[in-house]
Chains A and B, each alone.
Chain A
Amino acid sequence: MRRLAVIVGLVVLVVVSGLAARKFEGVTITVFTQPPPYIAKPVMMFAPDWEKTTGARVNLITAPWGELYTKMYASFSMGVAAYDIVIFPAAWLPDFAAAGFLVPLDDFIANDPYIQWDDILPVYRERIVSWEGKIYAVPLDGDCHIFYYRKDALENPEYQAKFKEKYGYDLPVPPKTWKQVRDIAEFFNGWDWDGDGEIEYGVVEPRRYAGQADWCFFSRAVGYVALPGQPGGLFFDPETMEPRINSPGHVRALEDYVEIIKYGVPGMINMDSGEIRSIFAAGLAAMAIDWGDIGVISETGEESTVRGKVGYAVLPGSDEVWNFAKGQWVKLPEPNQAGYLAFGGWVAGIAHNSQHKEAAYDFISYLSRPENSYVSVTTSETGFNPYRYSHFEKLSGWIGMGFSPEAAEAYLKAIKDTIGHPNVQPDLRIPGQARYFEAVDRALSRVVAGELSPKAALDEVAQIWNQITDSLGRDKQLLYYRLSLGLPPK
């Protein structure tokens, strides 16, 4: 009897001491982001292990994409300590950081032996998550647009010969200019080029309002307006904060954006970015623009019919680029294929009024540390794309996910080449970003519907952008814009 009591006592002691050792026992942290699977899935994947180790609990709250910004902003501004961690698009960071909604994380990161901050690509760890010299979030996702094409179509010698006969030049694989994309799209539009008995089309790109088509437009514009060495080409004049959105370069990009619809999958003007992924993976289009998601879905998705048939490349561009200083087109010897960090990726920050900042940071660090983030970026439907050097070095995760070694290499190379491009353009990172982009999105949808010409629509956007800038304070916005480009204050 006494022996039994001793054993029970020891067991209790071990259990109690084990529990006491857990550093956040009894703490509940609330994480707020969009609904699963995309973005919330990694939280759900890693929360149980972290809870076991730390004794804390993770309470996941979600809101649809369209309501995410407003719910976050409302909760912060009304002083409701509703969330400890917010996982949000990097483009919103200036809004939140400038308003004092987020906790600076520099000290946390400096004292964190697990996060391996230098393993994160500089563009993400230095530009995307920092504001006025301080770090306000940890990257969980690396986002940029890349170009997808069907190798079995574009590399087919018979089709290449026919293409040359029709257009008078070799079918470029991959295409380097949007003009070439247009010709290839026209060539592959409306016939069964993969022999599956179904008709295929030239391209698939999102064109729906509130369907992330605005990023697609800027991906098409970047080659026309981001002249190497010319800062601020995409959005504003960094000297005056005058909008550049209605420049001849942007107008030409918008004309392309509209013209390509003729060679797109029927109904493309009503498609968002989620739908174009399924369409491409179903084998209906020869080319597409997207974040890393099409690659993952095409190479690993159960429904995919294009596994092993997809080629990956940096975005096409233009050999004529608009020079804002001279106000004229400049002819370049090689096409300007500047990358675009569309959206910039999802980042995690800590609310300024969180009662559990240490626990919150510990969970963010757990999500972002190399071994766990590698699992996140190599698991389908997480919505997270590579953003650390280590994500590009090891192929095993990608192969385990369903990529062939060749596909994994080509996919990662396209992303790495985009991010590492010397003329890569960051997304708009100033307060009011959502308002500026909504105006563009609205105009794009009106042009696509034939309500406005590209020039008239972009002139209207420029006018709205000026109103937004004035309402937020022109001097302040100019300062923030310059900081976001890495330029000194004026």
Chain B
Amino acid sequence: MLTPGVLIVLLFSIFPLFFTLMLMFGQVIFSEGKMLIKFAGLANWQRLLQDQRFWNAVLVTLKIVVIAVTAEYVLGLILASLLYQRPFGSGFFRVLYVIPMLLTPIAVGYTWRMILDVGRGPIAGLLKRAGLSPVGWLTDPHVALYSIVLIDVWQWTPFMFLLLYAGLEAIPKDYLEAAEVDGASGWKKFIYVIMPLLAPSSIAAFLLRTIECFKIVDIIYITTGGGPGQATESLTLFGYNVGFRTFDLAYGATIAFSLFFMVLIAAMFFTILTRSLRGIRLE
């Protein structure tokens, strides 16, 4: 009974994983119509650690992850808290808020590329009418990365909102009523009751978004292509460019694995955090 499942896992997960591992310690040579993999030891890793482009991609990726995921969490929490109070039209807004995450990143990328176009975009038009200078949202090396963050936040805040809203809904009402009886203000209730109880949902949301955000490629590919210069080249895009534009498969595999290790470290951090928070109890 297990055979088809095992085969599928072997075929689509284990085999590519081992093949990538093999590439990481090898050199791919195309010669006389054949693809040969020669053992190269740690040469690819040595090259990676000395590669300025790699460190730039690491920094770009980390900046995007830290800023975007934090902003998504804060905005998601605000939206979830607002709707948790059941204002008028909350059902409508609940649906409205999740629409961006239902769109494909490619469509989102193209849409934002038009919106942020420095010459013909609507924002440029508004700035011009207001007598302000145009901003190179996607063409200024100092601004482009933050535009990518903006787009990611726009698309993925709904994901945070959904998880945190579900977390809020799961908090037993008794706790909140007890806090009210004890005379806790709205702010104190939020800090001392809601936030601790929301911690597991928060960590799950942070973990999932962090893993996804580390792999960011599609929005960048469409909006800036990694530019200007190297200003927005994430690790995944770097790996893609190396593997698919220059066909340097071994180095591309090494880049992919470096990303894997970074994601692994992030996941371990959140796992440890979750364990340490297990002890939290309401006082």
Contacts and interface: CB of A to CB of B under 8 A. Distances in A.
Interface in B237-262: 241, 243-248
Contacts of A74: 35
Given A67-B244, A100-B32, A434-B247, A266 B225 contact: no
Is the interface on chain B under 10, 10 to 19, 20 to 34, or 35 or more residues?
20 to 34
Contacts of B34: 77
A70 interface: yes
Contacts of B119: 265-267
B239 to A, nearest CB: 13
A35 interface: no
Contacts of A446: 229-230
Interface in A334-363: 352
A267 B141 contact: no
Interface stretch (B91-99, B132-140, B201-209): B132-140
Contacts of A450: 141, 229
A266 B116 CA distance: 12
Given A99-B30, A265-B119, A267-B138, A434 B245 contact: yes
Interface in A73-87: 73-74, 76-78
Interface residues of A, number: 34
A211 B138 CA distance: 15
A267 B228 contact: no
B245 A438 contact: yes
A269 interface: yes
Given A76-B33, A99-B32, A352-B33, A269 B246 contact: no
Contact of A270 (B31, B120, B138): B138
B225 A451 contact: no
B200 interface: no
A451 B248 contact: no
A468 to B, nearest CB: 9
B72 interface: no
B159 to A, nearest CB: 27
Given A66-B245, A266-B118, A449 B227 contact: yes
A105 interface: no
Contact of B117 (A66, A267, A435): A267
Contacts of B226: 209, 445
A267 B225 contact: no
B33 A101 contact: yes
A69 interface: yes
Interface in A254-268: 265-267
B224 interface: yes
A210 B34 CA distance: 27
Interface string B132-152: 001010110100000000000
Interface string A99-112: 11100000000000
A279 B60 CA distance: 31
A435 B138 contact: no
Interface of A: 66-67, 69-70, 73-74, 76-78, 95, 99-101, 208-211, 265-267, 269-270, 272, 352, 434-435, 438, 445-451
7 contacts: A77-B34, A95-B30, A99-B32, A267-B120, A270-B224, A446-B229, A449-B141
Interface of B: 30-35, 117-120, 124, 134, 136, 138-139, 141, 224-231, 241, 243-248
Given A266-B119, A435-B248, 19 more contacts: A66-B245, A70-B243, A73-B247, A77-B30, A100-B33, A210-B225, A269-B139, A270-B138, A352-B33, A435-B247, A438-B245, A438-B246, A445-B227, A445-B229, A446-B229, A447-B229, A448-B229, A449-B227, A451-B229
Closest 6 CB pairs of A and B: A449-B229, A266-B119, A449-B228, A77-B35, A100-B33, A267-B118
